[in-house]
Amino acid sequence: MARSHAWGSFVGPVEGDGALEGANLDVDIDAEVAEDRVVAVGIRSRPPGPSCASFELAGASVLGWRGEMASDLQLGPGYGSLEDERFLAKYRARCHCGAVRYEVRADPVDAKVCHCRACQVLHGAPMQWAAIFHKRDVRLVRGIEALRFYNGAVDRPERLLPCKVRCGRCGTLIADEGRRMWLAFPSLFDFGTPPEVPEAFRASCHIFYGMRVMDIEDGLPKWSGHKNESTLL
């Protein structure tokens, strides 16, 4: 029986011999699709679903599923693929409305806080916190059609690298897409409740600190421009 990996949501009854047989759920689902039916391999609830964060329904079928197929979810060459069975997600991120979701399989290679004027304006915040990943460690699992792009250097809403990536539905800034790297925003990641941010996501320094609109006393190095390419302030 051919199966495809998928990510989506459903509202409907559960069939099978599991503890939730017959339950009506409103949940997010990480699933395998086989012959137009969904075989659930992992389900994460969201309000008003059950209070438990995750559970298994081995062999159960989910009716009324709404989602997207893996073949429609590709960011492009260099990124991880849903067809890659060796890709084991370590972290998951999503936009505010959930239309865009992606996974990463490794810790970030670095994390920084940027104080440049462009980040201040585009984020509507005093600074930007970003964790940097190799593109090969990132794969989109939902929402390719919702992605919107903007290149500030040429002031055009196009995918001209490097560029900003956002959700076209809720407006959440998803990442900065570079030529070789993916700069993720850690506030989009699921670190549990209450959140426990892994040490690898903690910033190693501040960059473009001379443009700051507020002082940060955290003991981290403050660079006038890019890390290791400018003057320490």
Q: What is the CATH number of the domain that holds 161?
A: 3.90.1590.10
Residue type at 153? Answer: A
In this structure, are 112 and 188 located in the same domain?
A: yes
Please report the pLDDT score of residue 108 as a whole number. Answer: 98
In this structure, are 44 and 115 located in the same domain?
A: no
Structure confidence at residue 50 as a pLDDT band (50, 70, 90): very low
Query: Does any domain span residue 216?
Result: no
b/e map of 46-76 (b: 16 or more CB within 10 Å)? eeebeeeeeeebeebebeebebbebeebebe
Residues spanned by the domain of 19: 3-72
Number of domains in the chain: 2
Please report the pLDDT score of residue 224 as a whole number. Answer: 96
Please report the pLDDT score of residue 144 as a whole number. Answer: 87
Please report the pLDDT score of residue 48 as a whole number. Answer: 33
In this structure, are 61 and 123 located in the same domain?
A: no
More confident residue, 177 or 18: 177
Question: If you average pLDDT over residues 184-188, what whole number do you get?
Answer: 96
Residue type at 207? Answer: I
DSSP string for 76-139:
-TTS--TT-TT---SEEEE-SSSS-EEEESS--SEEEEE--HHHHHHHTSS-EEEEEEEGGGEE
In this structure, are 126 and 55 located in the same domain?
A: no
Residue type at 11? Answer: V
In this structure, are 53 and 112 located in the same domain?
A: no
Please report the pLDDT score of residue 25 as a whole number. Answer: 45
Domain boundary among 23, 46, 72: 72
In this structure, are 13 and 58 located in the same domain?
A: yes
Q: Angle 58-137-107 (CA atoms, 0-180°, nearest 5)?
A: 90
Mean pLDDT value across the chain:
77
Domain boundary among 51, 72, 93: 72
In this structure, are 22 and 113 located in the same domain?
A: no
Question: If you average pLDDT over residues 72-96, what whole number do you get?
Answer: 86
Question: If you average pLDDT over residues 50-63, what whole number do you get?
Answer: 34
Query: Does any domain span residue 144?
Result: yes
Query: Does any domain span residue 91?
Result: no
Query: Does any domain span residue 50?
Result: yes
Contact predicate 95/115, CB 8 Å: no
Query: Does any domain span residue 97?
Result: no
Q: What is the pLDDT of residues 221-233, one digit of tens each?
A: 999 999 999 999 9
Query: Does any domain span residue 226?
Result: no
Query: Does any domain span residue 124?
Result: yes
Q: What is the pLDDT of residues 116-169, one digit of tens each?
A: 999 999 999 999 999 999 999 999 998 888 899 999 999 999 888 999 999 999
Question: If you average pLDDT over residues 10-16, what whole number do you get?
Answer: 44
Is a pLDDT exceeding 50 seen at residue 21? no
Give the predicted TM-score (pTM) of the model.
Answer: 0.69
Closest CA to 177 of 208, 201, 150, 199: 150
In this structure, are 59 and 138 located in the same domain?
A: no
